[in-house]
Structure 1
Amino acid sequence: MKALIIGATGATGKDLVHQLLNDKDFEEVDIFVRKPIDVQNDKLKTHIVDFEKPEEWKNLVKGDVAFSCLGTTLKTAGSKEAQRKVDYDYQYEFAKAAKENNVDDYILVSAYGADPKSRIFYSKMKGELEEAVKQLHFTKITIFNPGMLERKDSDRTGEVLGSRIIKFANKIGLLESQKPLPTDILAKAMINSSKIKSNGYSNIKLGNIFCFAEKSND
């Protein structure tokens, strides 16, 4: 299979790339990034792109399965408008390009609590992206809604502190549904879902992740 990835430089994306390159079922792994990554492998093909100009790279989004795990924080982005560009606009353009190029299988990492009707900016944005991607009617679409992710060597103070608090709560039997999820486990689940050849709708629960697969009615 040929995999396509957006978000390859993030924590989940790095684990995903590493695992795909070591998976015998994948012959080629194409990543779409703003700058090169420090990985050398015969199976890896890197596309340096300007996400503001999808017309320049959309014809390259061709393969068997597309993985979307791009995302940023409000602090890093600097504003809600800038965060929406990364977390919604860029991801939607990638999904649209995949659909136009007849990619059948689309896998999206969203977020716990995603809801287009939410009053919370982040949850509303993620929910709107989910709905927009669903409307593209891929043959198979899988959406992951993880809660807090456990990233290796994270430098996000709030994230590290939050993870420690939840882990402590887990030890005394609290917040079990919000148990921090290691990004390598999420990446493994994404790859496993790409190998499930099923039709129709299915709901798979893995820890605090829920994935939804929906078949297009086209």
Structure 2
Amino acid sequence: MHALIIGATGATGSQLLTKLLADPAISHVTSFVRKDADATHPKLTTHVIDFNDVASWQEKVVGDVLFCCLGTTKRAAGSQQAQWKIDHDYPLAFAKAAKNHGVPTLALISSDGADARSPLFYYRMKGALDDKILALGFKNTLIFRPPLLKRPNSDRLGENLAEKAIAFANRFGLLKSAKPMAVADLAQAMLLAVKRQENGIIDKNQIRKLLAN
């Protein structure tokens, strides 16, 4: 299986890249990045690209599965508009290129609470992308909606505060379904689901079931 990945330098993407390279069922991995990550492996091909210049990379989006792990925060991006471009526009452009080149499977990291009609920007953005990805009609579309993610050495203040609050509630048996998930676990679930040819929206409970089986 030839895996394509965007977002391989991020918290979940880097974990997934490691798992892809170690899995004997994956014959080759092609990663698309904005700047050289210095990752080397006999199975790995890395393309340093300008995500805005679709014509320069779209012909390279050829394989068996596209993993979309690209994402940022408003703080890191600088504005909601910039975050929308990274979290919504870039993955959608890659998905369209993959569809045009006959890639049969797409696996996307979305978010618990994603809803195109949400009054909250982040969930609205994620929901809008989910709807457009589903409408492309891949043979297999896997949209993962995990709970809050535990990222090693995270500098995301909001996530860190939320993680501590949920962990405190969990001690009293509260908010069990919202228990944060390690990015390594999400990456493992993504690989398992693709290999098992799962399809559709995979929520936080289904992700945990994948890991338990």
Q: After TM superposition, is the score higher than 0.5?
A: yes
Q: Give the root-mean-square deviation of aligned CA atoms.
A: 1.8
AA aligned opposite 1:138: F
Q: Which runs of 5+ in 2 are unaligned?
A: none
Structure-2 change in CA distance of 1:35 and 1:2 (3 Å): same
* TM-score (norm. length: structure 2): 0.93
Q: Map Cα deviations across residues 19-69 of structure 1 (whole Å, 9 max, x no partner).
A: 111101001111100111132211111011100011110110100111001
Structure-2 change in CA distance of 1:189 and 1:164 (3 Å): same
AA aligned opposite 1:181: M
1:95 aligns with 2:95: yes
Is the contact between residue 143 and residue 210 of structure 1 (CA under 8 Å) also seen in structure 2?
Answer: no
**Counterpart of 2:46 in 1: which secondary structure?**
strand
Q: Distance in 1 between matches of 2:123 and 2:91?
A: 16
Q: Distance in 2 between matches of 1:186 and 1:177?
A: 15
Is the contact between residue 4 and residue 67 of structure 1 (CA under 8 Å) also seen in structure 2?
Answer: yes
Partner of residue 28, structure 1: 28
Partner of residue 50, structure 1: 50
Partner of residue 79, structure 1: 79
Count of equivalent residues = 209
Alpha-carbon shift at residue 157 of structure 1 (Å): 2.5
Q: Distance in 2 between matches of 1:110 and 1:60?
A: 24
**Counterpart of 1:107 in 2: which secondary structure?**
strand
Q: Map Cα deviations across residues 76-96 of structure 1 (whole Å, 9 max, x no partner).
A: 111111010001110100000
Decide which structure has greater helix share. 2
Q: Distance in 1 between matches of 2:202 and 2:99?
A: 24
**Counterpart of 2:136 in 1: which secondary structure?**
coil
**Counterpart of 1:63 in 2: which secondary structure?**
coil
Identify the range of structure 1 (155-164 vs 135-144) with the bigger mean alpha-carbon deviation.
155-164
**Counterpart of 1:135 in 2: which secondary structure?**
helix
Alpha-carbon shift at residue 204 of structure 1 (Å): 5.1
Q: Distance in 2 between matches of 1:207 and 1:135?
A: 24
Alignment of 1:158-173 (within 5 A): 158-173=158-173
AA aligned opposite 1:43: K
Alignment of 1:1-218 (within 5 A): 1-197=1-197, 206-207=204-205, 209=207
Structure 1 runs of 4+ with >3 Å offset: 201-211
**Counterpart of 1:152 in 2: which secondary structure?**
coil
* TM-score (norm. length: structure 1): 0.91
Q: Distance in 2 between matches of 1:92 and 1:202?
A: 17
Q: Map Cα deviations across residues 95-133 of structure 1 (whole Å, 9 max, x no partner).
A: 000000100010010011111111111111111101111
Percentage of identical aligned residues: 46
Q: Which runs of 5+ in 1 are unaligned?
A: 212-218
Alpha-carbon shift at residue 203 of structure 1 (Å): 6.3
**Counterpart of 1:67 in 2: which secondary structure?**
strand
